[in-house]
A and B are shown apart, each in its own frame.
Chain A
Amino acid sequence: MEQRDKLKEWIGAAEVTLLEHGDDATAERFAWLASGLLRRSPDKLWDLLREATREDLDKVPGIEGLLERLAQALIAAGRLGEASDLAQAATRWQLRLGGAVHRQLAQAHLRAGQPVRAEETVRDLLKRDAADADAVRLLYRLLREGGRPAEAHGLLDRLVELDPTAATATFAHRERAKLPEAGGRPVRIALLSSYVIDPLVPFLDAGCRRAGLTPAFYVGPFNQYTQEALNPGSGLYAFAPEIVFVALDLEDLFPAVRGVPSAEELAQGREEICGKIGTLVRELHARSSALIVVHELAPTGRSPHGILDNRRADGLARFVEEVNRDLAQALATQAHTFLLPLREALRRAGGERGQGRKLWYMARMRHGDAALHELARASMRYVKPLKGLTRKCVVVDLDNTLWGGVVGEAGADGIHLGPTAPGVEFVELQEALLNLTKRGILLAVCSKNNPDDVLPVLREHKHMVLREEHFSALRINWRNKAENLAEIAVELNIGLDALVFLDDNPVERELVRQMLPEVLTVEMPKDASQYRATLEDLTDFELLALTREDELRVSQYQANRRRQALEHSSGSLDDYLHSLEIRAEIGRAAAHHVPRLVQMFNKTNQFNTTTRRYQTPDVERFITSPAHQIYVLDVADRFGEHGLVGTAVVREDGEAWVIDNVLLSCRAMGLSVETSLLKHIHDAARARGVARLVGEFAPTKKNAPCADFYQRHGFRHDGDESGSQVWVLDPRVDRVEDPAWITVTVTGAPA
């Protein structure tokens, strides 16, 4: 009783003081009363507030906190309808409730058996804050329980992207096993290591999933990499990997490095390390056709020599530099083998070997979260080209992407583009894009603008690095960007899954993500100074080998435009084809063709009769095996070279010749050069008296352009075999004719 009197006394005194300050204290009194109501009767408080305007509410001190507590109280009291109303009203008032409140509300809906309301609540929250990892976790659970596996897989991708920690990657990896498979192309990845590398698996899994792959993993037993490589019966070979990562630690290979080895010991160490890794790689290649990726060697601690280290012949930094250089040189001479720049990945991770140290002491692990994340990204640079997932074209927006500002408003002289900031960051992005064209990546423009505003910039602005001729397609109009992108893909004759889209506008990005999920829509940072790094961090432009065809590609697309102009001016298709002066050169493949052939086998989707994805060792076998013939087709016309654009693998099977696969690069489609290739095979078979020439066709989602290849050359359908159509022809009787507009040259010895 005494206590209550005391409080009343305080209330009186407080009111007097407030009144003395000329305040009527209404707002304070209401806030105070409201917190009382909140505890005793939250629904009554909500009744009072529900019709309020933002103006009314602004008078109440701490209104956001109050509403948040009110929402929680309503949820706790089971008044979910009112709580939802409050959440919606808050949006209307432009007041923010914490993410936790929305999540609690969603969970309460779920417990109350209202999954649809729960999903709406979480989706509203994600609309406001797309980076709320807890909300993504919750939505994931909703979708998994709601039996929507495809969306659930997508959310796991998003979750790992938002929170790239080992914990989240592991959670996502574990959850995948509970979901029906997403149905992506499979890839088989093996890891051999001198330390515990298992925690890399969830990160690699996430990287593969994001690329649309469904990975299977094999991790060699701890520190048994030598046995795994030497024993033909090892788990590694039974797994039949497509790619093997070899992660050996410098300290494990050369323990003396932890002390103060002499210059002689270091030289000997270098030799031993390179010898050991070289042998390992040779053994792996002898028993497997997998791509081998060896990690660079990275030092763990500081040099024992301190600041004298780089002045000494036995310095640690010099030793590490030299041993990695030796390795790079030794591996560069081996086909299908790479050295992964581990030191760069660790640097990018902030060199967090501190966390790594404790993991090493406790669990023989070498890398913490950030390093694993970077290492997985670096690893995907090998997995993607191996699986033919290299993107072929970057489509860029213009205003605020390729230059700063809006050219339609500021004019060509008013945009930010030049040697000083703001402006230099856009010049750098353009330089990075230009560099991509050197490895055969195409560029295109997709911009909402008037061509009259834009073209003078592309043609004349003195600081533009990229000019009109660098772009293989231009879409400068006011139409929907998704439509424009689809048209660009058709014009360049590449798949939507070969496009990368750069646009500063989140609305355009969202539209393209929704309409064309196959396109890689890059999440551009708001800060243009990060543009260049964002582009360079993409792991989608890697090639396992740079072929002449890659270097030729950009000029070929320019030649294509001239071809199209000719086509328009020609009277008939026949006239057009004759006027192109097409020359086809056909011969047997040799060793120097291997990189280009491997690239074609893994990248060609449209004109690919069986889509068998051969790797380097397979192609090498076709070249040397007496039972196989592998042909190459080079094409040129009056506008320039197309390069090596076609190949065919023929297998001798008793009395018959089986055409295992025929591929034609999309840039050479429509010229009928495939007919010349087929005729060449036909003639070779006929010369050898073969009675049965068999062509296989295995339909896929993408290879419709060659579905009638055998039919239109006179082959007869002879049933189906394990999903492939079998087509046959008798070369002794049947004929295949060269198109009249193609001049064919046969190189090398006849088959």
Chain B
Amino acid sequence: MSSVEEVVCQVFGAEPGSIDAGSSPESVEGWDSMGHLNLLAALEKRFNVSIDIGDVMEMVSVRRIREILLDYGVRG
């Protein structure tokens, strides 16, 4: 499990192993607009980055989050 998957798991209290690269707001319970902000806070804390609002809007799946984090020099 990559660390982004771990964070998603913790934030939404999902069953470990139920989250993969393709997980997205459609497939994860609680990943709504408010949940998205909670996920943002958790990612920023875990990887010690501050993510630009434009990028926050782009975080539509675990895979995409990992790509975005790479732009911030972080391997998630």
Contact = CB atoms under 8 A, between A and B. Distances in A.
Interface stretch (B6-14, B59-67, B68-76): B6-14
A744 interface: no
Interface in B11-35: 11-13, 15-17, 29-30, 33-35
A165 B16 CA distance: 19
Nearest to A133: B10
A141 B15 contact: yes
A137 interface: yes
B41 A170 contact: no
A362 B56 contact: yes
A21 to B, nearest CB: 38
A175 B13 CA distance: 9
Nearest to B17: A107
Contacts of B15: 141
A113 to B, nearest CB: 16
Interface string A102-139: 01000100000000000000000000000001100110
A362 B37 contact: yes
B41 A368 contact: yes
A45 B37 CA distance: 46
A141 B14 CA distance: 10
A165 B37 contact: no
Contacts of B35: 167, 170
Contacts of A359: 37
Contacts of A133: 10
Nearest to B52: A358
Contact of A166 (B37, B44, B50, B56): B37
Contacts of B41: 165-167, 355, 368-369
Interface string A139-178: 0010000000000000000000000011110110011000
Contacts of A175: 13
A34 B16 CA distance: 29
B53 A171 contact: no
Contacts of B16: 103, 107, 138
Interface string A205-224: 00000000000000000000
Nearest to A107: B16
A198 B37 contact: no
B42 A165 contact: yes
A167 B11 contact: yes
Contact of A174 (B17, B30, B39): B30
A583 B70 CA distance: 80
A358 B34 contact: no
Given A358-B53, A362-B56, A198 B13 contact: no
B38 A166 contact: yes
Given A107-B16, A369-B41, A361 B53 contact: yes
B53 A170 contact: no
A355 B15 CA distance: 28
Nearest to A199: B34
A168 B10 CA distance: 8
A131 B30 CA distance: 24
Contacts of B38: 165-167, 170
Contacts of A199: 34, 37
Nearest to A362: B53
A359 B16 CA distance: 28
A277 interface: no
Given A362-B53, A368-B41, 5 more contacts: A167-B10, A167-B12, A354-B50, A358-B53, A363-B33
Lowest 8 CB-CB distances: which A-B pairs, in order?
A167-B38, A171-B13, A167-B11, A166-B38, A167-B42, A369-B41, A362-B53, A170-B38
16 contacts: A133-B10, A166-B38, A166-B41, A167-B38, A167-B41, A170-B34, A170-B38, A171-B30, A174-B29, A199-B34, A355-B41, A361-B53, A362-B37, A362-B53, A363-B33, A363-B37
